[in-house]
Chains A and B, each alone.
Chain A
Amino acid sequence: MADLQTYSHDAGWKNTVLRGLLYLVLILFAAYYLFPLIVMVSTSLKSLDEIREGSLISLPRVVTFDAWNYAWNEACVGVECTGIKIYFWNSVKMAIPAVLISTFLGAINGYALTKWRFKGANIVFALLLFGCFIPFQVVLLPMSQVLGKLGLASSTPGLVMVHVVYGLCFTTLFFRNYYVSIPDELVKAATIDGAGFFTIFWRIILPISTPIIVVSVIWQFTQIWNDFLFGASFASGENAPMTVALNNIVNTTTGVKQYNVDMAAALLTGLPTLLVYVLAGKYFVRGLTAGSVKG
């Protein structure tokens, strides 16, 4: 008995130390990632004068949203000084259709590939999978030619198409892997009940796909919203997405460098993806592990 107590006392002590170390490491990592964010937020809330006087890491003495307002409404992107807001809406107009279309097509693809195994389904899937590994840069030139031929060059619909095509590989992969774990008998039962391809999809498959839809939406939204290369290559001027506009604001060489405006614009650009994670994040984790546990 006494032995046991000594032992457990010892173990408890070791446990505490290990746990303390663990937290220390975690806190260090968290700080490492949080610090730039803190600097950005605090800088964006300072006036330009204060930035010039104080140090980078000092907190704002007077909190002001002027920089945010300026970034949103007045900042100059190239020669136009209309703020970042029109580009924000460009990004919205690009991201929402692209996310919805690519997710929807991925769902149909995954459903067809798993539940209606047609001849050559495996080859189609292998090719799609291959698409996931093609780097952005490789498709730039051919894509610009295709867009030109379709008359979609430098337009938001063109950008939507690029993102749909590029995202399809990923969304198909997500949905295929999710649907593989759904028993085929469900589809067989519905077939005997008289339902066809699309009825089964709408009435049975899609309603049980929520976790993977969330995964697909978050993934696609993050990819598409944060994309810079396609945006810079295929949509110029007033059609540019927010990421491109942000780059233009930050890289403006004329006049004084307005760090607070740059930071505010960068935060505004990052905000939507953050919002999506906060709203749907818990489903994201659930969805990623959904295939592993049969429910």
Chain B
Amino acid sequence: MASLTLDKVRKAFGPVEVLKEINLAIEDGEFLVLVGPSGCGKSTLLNLIAGLESSTDGEIRIGDRVINDVHPKDRNIAMVFQSYALYPNMTVRKNITFGLEIRGVSAQERDKAVADVAKLLQIEALLDRKPSQLSGGQRQRVAMGRALVRDPDIFLFDEPLSNLDAKLRVDMRTEIKKLHQRLGSTIVYVTHDQIEAMTLASRIAVMKDGILQQFDTPQNIYERPNNMFVAGFIGSPSMNFVNATLIDNNGQLAVSIEREGNPITLPLFEAPESYKAYAGKKVVFGIRPEALTHKRTGSDEPGSQYVNFDSKVEVIEPTGADTMTVIEIAGKEIVARVRPDRAPTPGESMTFSADMSQISLFDPDTELRI
């Protein structure tokens, strides 16, 4: 177990810059999740840490050791691949012990190690099968076993759950989390599933086009996204964005949204300092669906964080726990999360409450958080 530091790491394949100045540092025992859309460079970053690719520039350290020029096998890392990459010609037992054998661990110790890992992952019954005789979930476990048996400083996971069906994915997610809590190991985990990222991570690094967008705890990323990309990427359904103007409403800042006939004015009761510079200017108003609900009790009282407004309902999408209610404001479709018993019928007009303590404002040009 060890800390991991990436210092101004860049990677180019020929003329194409795939990673641009990545700075990341995690402590011993942290669970770092790299998320981002397909092709943003997550796997490349993982390969750099593993040593399967060499960085064009920058420094990678495990603990205090610079590992840029260290061979993958000497980095004391273990990796689980998206395709699992089990050796098809070897039994599960052989798959798990291959690395130990190459490293010259005695047969006795290997047997013990494989027994321990098999017990931990509950794959004892599968040890003498070939990978082709396993189900997807079982293969995934074996791939984990191959990594666990080595007791490395850092585990690297490259989308280990993306080949599993939805139910199994949720189960395995929980198991990986348990495993991390039990072993306290340092993990770097790649996924493009933002729910996986939120549930597993101690810290999340959101990437786009090879640029690190934000590196923070899941809660901070969710509540205070750095920019519109992060805001839109994390959270499901994703954050609503509406073009608006920040106005001075009798000495109090308010978000004003143009709407045919009657504009919506949403006063901000505890506006941060940073908003002042944008008074009178255009902004992008961001609000998550759960912060936009049916009318709340107490929302009529003065000074409430909830602000009410009326809107016609376009579409409803029941999900069971909540009903996603689509309304249209300023030409944009906006999703509100409404309790099923308060769900409207399409076409009806209804009063919504916006929780103004949970909103984000962005600069329309730079798309950065204000």
A interface vs B, CB < 8 Å? 183, 185-186, 188-195, 199, 203-204, 207-208, 295
Contacts and interface: CB of A to CB of B under 8 A. Distances in A.
A191 B72 contact: yes
Given A194-B99, A194-B102, A186 B79 contact: no
B87 interface: yes
B102 A192 contact: no
Given A199-B102, A204-B89, A208-B89, A194 B83 contact: no
Nearest to B152: A192
B312 to A, nearest CB: 51
18 contacts: A186-B87, A188-B47, A189-B87, A190-B87, A191-B72, A192-B73, A192-B79, A193-B99, A193-B146, A194-B99, A194-B102, A195-B102, A203-B98, A204-B87, A204-B89, A204-B90, A207-B89, A208-B88
Contacts of A191: 52, 72-73
A204 B85 CA distance: 11
The dominant DSSP class at the A interface is: helix
B182 interface: no
A189 B81 contact: yes
B81 A193 contact: no
B167 interface: no
B88 A192 contact: no
B48 to A, nearest CB: 13
Contacts of A186: 85, 87
B89 A185 contact: no
Given A185-B82, A193-B98, 5 more contacts: A185-B85, A188-B52, A191-B72, A192-B77, A192-B79
Q: How large is the interface on B (under 10, 10 to 19, 20 to 34, 35 or more residues)?
A: 20 to 34
Interface of B: 47, 50-52, 72-73, 77-79, 81-83, 85, 87-90, 98-99, 102-103, 132, 146
Contact of A193 (B47, B73, B132): B73
Given A192-B72, A193-B98, A185 B87 contact: no
B81 A188 contact: yes
Given A190-B98, A192-B78, A185 B73 contact: no
B79 A194 contact: no
A194 B52 CA distance: 12
B85 A188 contact: yes
Contacts of A207: 89
